[in-house]
């Protein structure tokens, strides 16, 4: 049996699966139901300043019959009176002492306001705080949420105020709506945060109704930017996660990260953890399918760990992080070419047209007599001219058949050197004529 | 109806008569159509397009359904095939487009049903994509308003010809109107296509039989070119004793009744023998079942392996509760005293040496006669070749091939410069189908335009 439990900056959780602060964690009823079904922790829907919500809060990105590959919202923080939230936090913690209950907080940028609410919530017995510096709409216009998270100095300052009164771990939730996530992450460290979490939602406009010209989501004829989440944002979240994970200054602080953004399956969760998340949070997937998805997440991750020989989460958290590298350090001598398995090929010829129109024209349509199949329909086969293949990989990306086009590593005798090493050794290659010379010598042919 | 003949799970009988003759496949909903369209890989140089005799740009029309441009999708279809709505329903897609789909091993894209979705969308809204071309002063006569004739007429009208179609029946549409079983294609679908051709400025004169009401010579002198698309005739005689009995029906007449008459007026009988095992025979058998016949038996002198019906048609008949007697040859219709059918006398057959077609020819098993009791015998053993019309055409230099009108496949022109022909009446080999008739019409229209308006670069 594998052990899924984690210790997140002192917050204990039976597994790494937490509900993100959002509609699924709006009330005690919901969180208790989720814990019953297996969720390890929950970050309470952000409490703080009084708000009023609007109608039509969601817009979705639906793709070719798949609903909600992306979700946009203009929802605000909790609109329930604070006393009710506090009462239910206390009750939930009493009923589920072993699950992680984390209170998300956001108030105006005043020291007293922050310290007072922290003390008030602390009294309920929750396990930790998450400071919402990420909400990109509604709250930011009032100087809260991402308005704070986008200015590292504010992030540091508010964190510092909170740390003065907090007796339990404090997580700073970062906004992705910045040019370089590393700076607010370092600011959180500087403010003595116990951990960080990311990502909150991304600024977005979902679309325009081409019949009515309305913006989606449509709020009584008007619309505006909202926060984007769901499967579509996962690559962005993974990048931001790895960016802070790979930052030396952040790493030195040794504080854990709670990752989120597009997690729907155990596979997604594993990827976040391989890139340095200790816990993972989920919102959109639960909004789409309900709490029940956690059963497969737990089982799937356990099975995977067993297959891989991992006993506990710490065995693999951050395992892929060392591979995150800069372009300048990639091996220029690593060469691959596309090989098409004609036993699997169904002759859709999508690789041909992609290569011909959008890559390097190195797939030919050729009449070949490979099997009886060929004789029957007489259609030509896509065949790679390996000598001309630049190994860009587009063909295998468009191929609809699993494992039909494989990128195989070949040795062309090119020197194994990185760009950084090359320009250090031969700065002259920055001129075109010298570059040409180098290419000749290194057996690099470009057509 | 004797209860013991009623199969436990024959769903059709749980429906009303009208419902049983509704289209077997319901139309796709928008959601279904988009989901199916999105499954299409959008192959480059797609094999489905090559397999379609009219070369509809299938990946393009499907992609357009996926983007919500259903109108544009219909245009793409009709550009290659004006009878797209009929073809969507009647084409043997298993052996054409869908049969060549690169996903055929898994589950081919439902091309036929998607085509129906797009063409119905346009038809229901009476969207017109094409206009009558600028008049070029040339007149063409089309004889027979089936798919071949209508396709030719429409294509010619688009390029500016003055086209008149002569049709001997009350309604135009040919077998799409009178011959395709109604639960595959309702009559309205065919008539809507006729209307679309008329809207292109084509004159359709129904109730006019060429060779009887108007002489062919008259047509030849009045028009610059003639397209002959008269299809085939009725079901031939079996030449067996008792064939004149009351209750022996021509399969085509029988199908026609269900298309143009009130269903509850048709008396099909309780025990029906169908003679033949082609697609028409299957149609007769399934209609008889849906009309309520307890026992429908198909009688075929060769074995299952040789039957000419498409496999999916055979499967459909089995599902409908039709039974099959293979290696059985009818030799006499038994009549009662009032001259009505009482039974069909048959003889058992065996397979002997391969004949000219390569199929093993059936030989009688001596002393194996027996009688199948029945009250109807429906003949579906093919259609008569266009002999009478050949007699009119032959003196004009038109050749024949195995009794069909001979044409040059590149132009569909006959031995006479002015006379073109297409559709079933030229189909001397291969399985006759609507889509091939449509393509014949297109080829002939192109050739006629090339011949009569040889302006440089036009109509090529
Ligand atoms: C029962 C049945 C089921 C079929 N099912 C299918 C199917 O599922 N799928 C498929 O692809 N194909 C099917 N076919 C075949 C398909 O219907 C034909 O291939 C197609 O209709 C041929 O078109 P056509 O225009 O050549 O002939 P027809 O459709 O036969 O049209 C010929 C027209 O010419 C008229 N005509 C004849 N002589 C004269 C004259 N002297 N003067 C004026 N008018 C005249 C006729 O009245 C008729 O309207 C089926 C055929 C039958 C009989
Ligand atoms: C409708 C909605 C409301 C949200 N409300 C909050 C909130 O109150 N506080 C907060 O910190 N994050 C909020 N978020 C952001 C989520 O906690 C999470 O960071 C984001 O949705 C990415 O995760 P996902 O891709 O699993 O949805 C909200 C997200 C959504 C979709």
Distance of CA A202 from the midpoint of ligand 2 (Å): 10
Please tell me the predicted confidence (pLDDT) of residue B361. 87
Instruction: Provide the residue range defining the domain that includes A276.
Output: 6-320
* Distance (Å, whole) CA B246 – CA B248: 6
Give the residue with greater pLDDT, A11 vs B267.
A11
Nearest neighbour of A65 by CB, restricted to B34, B41, B43: B34
Shared domain check, A340 and A250: no
Q: Indicate if A293 and A370 belong to the same structural domain.
A: no
CA B434 – ligand 1 centroid, Å:
8
Within-domain flag for B180: yes
Ligand 2 contact, A233 CB (< 6 A): yes
Interface of B with A in 5-34 (CB under 8 A): 31, 34
Domain range for B212 is 139-233+385-459
Whether the predicted pLDDT of B183 surpasses 50: yes
Same domain assignment for residues A204 and A246 = yes
Whole-number Å distance between alpha carbons of A308 and A5: 17
Provide the number of structural domains found in chain A: 2
B72 and B48 part of one domain: yes
Q: Residue A130 is inside which H or E element, if any?
A: strand A128-132
| Predicted complex: ipTM over 0.85 | no
Answer whether residue B459 shows pLDDT above 70: no
B360 and B273 belong to one structural domain: yes
Active site residue A135: yes
Mean pLDDT score of chain A? 94
* Residue A289 · residue A265 · CB < 8 Å: no
B226 lines ligand 1 (CB under 6 A): no
Angle at A432 between CA A429 and CA A435, to 5 degrees: 40
- Taking an 8 Å cut-off on Cβ atoms, the answer to whether B44 and A348 are in contact is yes
pLDDT-derived band at A372 (thresholds 50, 70, 90) equals low
- Neighbour tally for B82: CB within 10 Å: 29
What mean pLDDT, rounded, does chain B reach?
Answer: 93
Q: Ligand 1, atom 21: nearest CA belongs to which residue? A: B175
Which CATH number covers residue B203? Answer: 3.50.50.60
Same domain, B427 and B356: no
Contact B88, B94 (CB under 8 A): no
The answer to whether position B129 is within a domain reads: no
In what helix (H) or strand (E) does residue A43 lie, and over which residues does it extend?
Answer: strand A41-48
Distance CA A444, CA A408 (A): 18
Q: Residue B373 has what pLDDT?
A: 96
**CA A173 to ligand 2: nearest atom:** 11
* Number of domains chain B contains: 3
**What average pLDDT score do residues A373-384 get?**
74
Report the residue of chain A nearest B43, measured CA to CA. Answer: A348
pLDDT above 90 as % of chain A: 88
B95 CB near a chain A CB, below 8 Å? no
Name which residue sits closest to atom 7 of ligand 1, judged by CA: B90
What percentage of chain A carries pLDDT values higher than 70? 98
- Assess if residue A369 is contained within a domain: yes
On the 0-12 / 13-18 / 19+ scale of CB atoms within 10 A, A201 is buried
**CB of A283 sitting under 6 A from ligand 2:** yes
Note the pLDDT tens digit of each residue in A90-120: 999 999 999 999 999 999 999 999 999 999 9
Taking the CA of A18 as reference, the closest ligand is 2
The reply to whether A228 falls in a domain is yes
Together in a domain, B263 and B278: yes
- pLDDT reported for residue B455: 54
Strand partners, A72: A59, A228
| pTM: predicted TM-score of the whole model, two decimal places | 0.86
Mutate to test the interface with A, among B38, B45, B50, B105 (most CBs of A within 10 A): B45
Q: Of B333, B348, B403, B421, give the one whose Cα is nearest residue B142.
A: B421
Asked if B178 and B194 count as a contact pair (C-beta separation under 8 A), the reply is no
- CB–CB of A377 and B34 under 8 A? no
Alpha-carbon gap, residue B426 to B222, rounded angstroms: 24
Distance of CA A102 to the CA centre of its chain: 21
* Angle CA A387–A393–A396, to nearest 5: 105
Q: pLDDT band for position B9 (50/70/90)? A: low
Residue A331 per-residue DSSP state: B
Mutation target among B32, B44, B67, B108 for the A interface, most CBs of A within 10 A = B44
| Residue B132 counted as domain residue | no
Cβ pair A346:B103 closer than 8 A:
yes
pLDDT in tens, B57-81: 999 999 999 989 999 999 999 999 9
The verdict on whether omega for the bond into residue A217 sits within 30 degrees of 0, i.e. cis, is yes
Task: State the nearest Cα–Cα gap between A347 and chain B, in angstroms.
Answer: 7
- pLDDT of A376 over the 60 cut: no
């Amino acid at each position: 049996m594998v052990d899924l439990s984690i210790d997140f900056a002192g917050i204990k959780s039976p597994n790494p699966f937490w509900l993100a602060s959002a509609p699924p964690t709006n009330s005690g009823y919901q969180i208790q139901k989720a814990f019953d079904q297996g969720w390890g922790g929950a970050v309470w829907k952000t409490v703080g300043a009084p708000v009023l919500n609007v109608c039509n809060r969601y817009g979705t990105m639906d793709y070719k019959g798949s609903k909600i590959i992306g979700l946009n919202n203009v929802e605000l923080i909790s609109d329930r009176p604070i006393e009710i939230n506090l009462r239910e936090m206390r009750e939930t913690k009493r009923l589920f002492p072993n699950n992680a209950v984390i209170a998300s907080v956001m108030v105006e940028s005043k020291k007293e306001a922050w310290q007072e609410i922290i003390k008030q919530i602390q009294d309920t017995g929750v396990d930790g705080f998450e400071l919402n510096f990420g909400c990109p709409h509604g709250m930011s216009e009032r100087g809260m949420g991402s308005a704070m998270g986008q200015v590292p100095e504010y992030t540091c300052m508010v964190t510092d105020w909170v740390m003065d009164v907090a007796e339990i771990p404090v997580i700073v939730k970062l906004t992705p709506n910045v040019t370089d996530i590393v700076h607010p992450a370092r600011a959180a460290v500087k403010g003595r945060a116990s951990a960080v979490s990311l990502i909150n939602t991304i600024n977005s406009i979902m679309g325009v109704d081409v019949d009515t010209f309305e913006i989606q989501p449509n709020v009584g004829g008007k619309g505006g930017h909202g926060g984007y989440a769901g499967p579509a944002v996962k690559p962005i979240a993974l990048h931001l996660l790895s960016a802070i994970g790979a930052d030396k200054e952040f790493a030195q602080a040794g504080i854990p990260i709670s990752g989120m953004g597009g997690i729907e399956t155990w596979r997604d969760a594993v990827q976040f953890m391989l890139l340095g998340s200790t816990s993972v949070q989920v919102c959109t997937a639960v909004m789409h399918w309900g709490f029940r998805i956690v059963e497969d997440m737990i089982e799937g991750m356990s099975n995977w760990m067993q297959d891989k020989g991992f006993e506990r989460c710490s065995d693999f958290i951050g395992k892929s992080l060392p591979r995150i590298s800069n372009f300048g350090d990639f091996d220029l001598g690593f060469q691959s070419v596309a090989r098409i398995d004609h036993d699997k090929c169904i002759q859709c010829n999508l690789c041909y047209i992609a290569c011909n129109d959008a890559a390097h024209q190195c797939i030919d349509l050729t009449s070949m007599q490979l099997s009886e199949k060929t004789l029957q329909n007489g259609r030509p086969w896509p065949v790679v001219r390996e000598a001309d293949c630049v190994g860009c990989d587009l063909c295998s990306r468009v191929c609809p058949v699993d494992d039909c086009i494989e990128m195989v590593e070949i040795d062309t005798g090119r020197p194994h050197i990185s760009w950084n090493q090359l320009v250090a050794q031969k700065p002259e290659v920055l001129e075109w004529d010298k570059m040409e010379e180098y290419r000749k010598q290194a057996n690099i042919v470009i057509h | 109806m004797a209860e013991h003949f009623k199969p436990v799970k024959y769903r059709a009988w749980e429906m009303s008569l009208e419902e049983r003759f509704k289209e077997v496949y319901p139309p796709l909903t928008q959601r279904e159509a988009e989901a199916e369209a999105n499954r299409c890989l959008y192959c480059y140089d797609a094999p489905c397009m090559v397999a379609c005799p009219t070369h509809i740009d299938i990946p393009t029309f499907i992609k357009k359904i996926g983007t919500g441009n259903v109108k544009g999708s219909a245009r793409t279809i009709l550009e290659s095939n004006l009878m797209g709505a009929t073809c969507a329903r009647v084409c043997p897609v298993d052996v054409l487009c869908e049969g060549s789909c690169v996903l055929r091993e898994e589950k081919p894209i439902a091309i036929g049903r998607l085509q129906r979705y797009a063409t119905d969308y346009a038809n229901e809204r009476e969207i017109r994509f094409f206009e009558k071309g600028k008049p070029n002063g040339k007149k063409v006569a089309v004889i027979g308003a089936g798919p071949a004739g209508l396709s030719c007429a429409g294509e010619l009208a688009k390029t500016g010809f003055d086209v008149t179609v002569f049709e001997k029946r009350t309604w135009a549409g040919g077998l799409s109107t009178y011959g395709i079983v109604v639960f595959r294609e309702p009559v309205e679908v065919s008539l809507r296509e006729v209307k679309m051709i008329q809207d292109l400025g084509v004159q359709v004169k129904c109730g006019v039989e060429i060779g009887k009401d108007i002489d062919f010579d008259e047509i030849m002198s009045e028009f610059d070119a003639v397209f002959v698309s008269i299809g085939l005739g009725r079901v031939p005689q079996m030449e067996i004793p008792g064939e004149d009995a009351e209750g022996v029906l021509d399969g085509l007449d029988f199908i026609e009744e269900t298309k143009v008459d009130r269903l509850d007026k048709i008396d099909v009988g309780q025990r029906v023998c169908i003679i033949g095992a082609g697609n028409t025979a299957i149609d007769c058998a399934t209609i008889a079942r849906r009309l309520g016949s307890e026992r429908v038996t198909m009688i075929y002198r060769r074995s299952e392996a040789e039957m000419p019906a498409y496999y999916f048609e055979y499967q459909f008949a089995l599902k409908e509760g039709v039974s099959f007697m293979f290696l059985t040859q009818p030799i006499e219709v038994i009549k009662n005293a009032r001259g009505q059918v009482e039974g069909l006398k048959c003889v058992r057959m065996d397979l002997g040496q391969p004949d000219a077609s390569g199929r093993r020819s059936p030989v009688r098993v001596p002393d194996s006669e027996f009688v199948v009791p029945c009250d109807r015998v429906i003949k579906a053993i093919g259609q008569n070749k266009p002999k009478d019309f050949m007699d009119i055409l032959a003196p004009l230099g038109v050749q024949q091939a195995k009794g069909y009108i001979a044409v040059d496949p590149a132009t569909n022109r006959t031995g006479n410069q002015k006379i073109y022909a297409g559709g079933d009446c030229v189909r001397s080999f291969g399985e006759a189908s609507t889509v091939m008739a449509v393509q014949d019409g297109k080829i002939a229209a192109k050739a006629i335009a090339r011949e009569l308006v040889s302006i440089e670069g036009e109509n090529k």
